[in-house]
Chains A and B, each alone.
Chain A
Amino acid sequence: DAKTTQPPSMDCAEGRAANLPCNHSTISGNEYVYWYRQIHSQGPQYIIHGLKNNETNEMASLIITEDRKSSTLILPHATLRDTAVYYCIVRVAQNSGGSNYKLTFGKGTLLTVNP
């Protein structure tokens, strides 16, 4: 799996957009970008994923650059409950046997949303 680089921490004001960057310059053509977050004392929670097109769901938007070497997770209106560690993970979707690939976590970005 490609290695990802994220800033260790970021701050955001409540109600403003939070933009979390991730570099994955060695990403391969068959690797997807996944984002998870982990609120203190809870298990990681899936947010969104994408291959090369921008994606949006009820939680966030994912912007992937055209060369796919970096991406940005956008929380459009951050709330205090969005304070968490955000993990950017790059991996292939499945192996030849069809089994579910492991997730390789880094240290992530601690996003602190301030009132």
Chain B
Amino acid sequence: DAGVTQSPTHLIKTRGQQVTLRCSPKSGHDTVSWYQQALGQGPQFIFQYYEEEERQRGNFPDRFSGHQFPNYSSELNVNALLLGDSALYLCASSPFISRQGFLGKNIQYFGAGTRLSVL
């Protein structure tokens, strides 16, 4: 059973460019969340997708957008890249809460991340 997979593993872009990161959720999961992790910091929530719609959003500008496909995979797009966008981008998947059984078993499973460097 494959876990959460992300591609590419590393990416180098220049300021002003656009980037697309991809995520395939764990088998049986239909909810995908994206996080940004700057060096030395904990991951910060960007947004979450379920049923191909953005359900929650963190404090990130509109330059960050996403998409979820019918097969539950997801993309994170960042436009007009800034130097400060350099970070590890993490994808996490989980079943929608109502499918998880008892309350509290609200576990997100993370991929290994995509390391984005903006020069």
> Bound complex: CA of A107 vs CA of B31, how far in Å?
25
Q: A-B pairs with CB below 8 Å: how many?
A: 78
**Contact B98–A98 (Cβ < 8 Å):** yes
Q: Which of A16-24, A45-53, A58-66, A69-77 contacts B (4 or more CB under 8 A)?
A: A45-53
Given A99-B55, A100-B96, A100-B97, CB of A105 within 8 Å of CB of B43: yes
Please indicate the chain B residues that have their CB under 8 angstroms from the CB of A101 in the complex: 56, 106
Chain A minimum-CB-distance residue to B57: A102
Check if A106 is an interface residue, CB within 8 A of chain B.
yes
**Contact A93–B106 (Cβ < 8 Å):** yes
Number of interface residues of A (CB under 8 A): 25
Name the one of B48, B96, B104, B112 contacting A32, with C-beta atoms under 8 angstroms. B104
Name the one of B41, B58, B90, B103 contacting A94, with C-beta atoms under 8 angstroms. B103
**Contact B96–A99 (Cβ < 8 Å):** yes
Most buried by B among A44, A45, A46, A107: A44
Check if B110 is an interface residue, CB within 8 A of chain A.
yes
**Contact A106–B42 (Cβ < 8 Å):** yes
Interface residues of A (CB under 8 A from B): 32, 41-46, 49, 51, 85, 87, 93-94, 97-108
Closest CB pairs A-B (n = 3): A105-B42, A43-B110, A102-B45
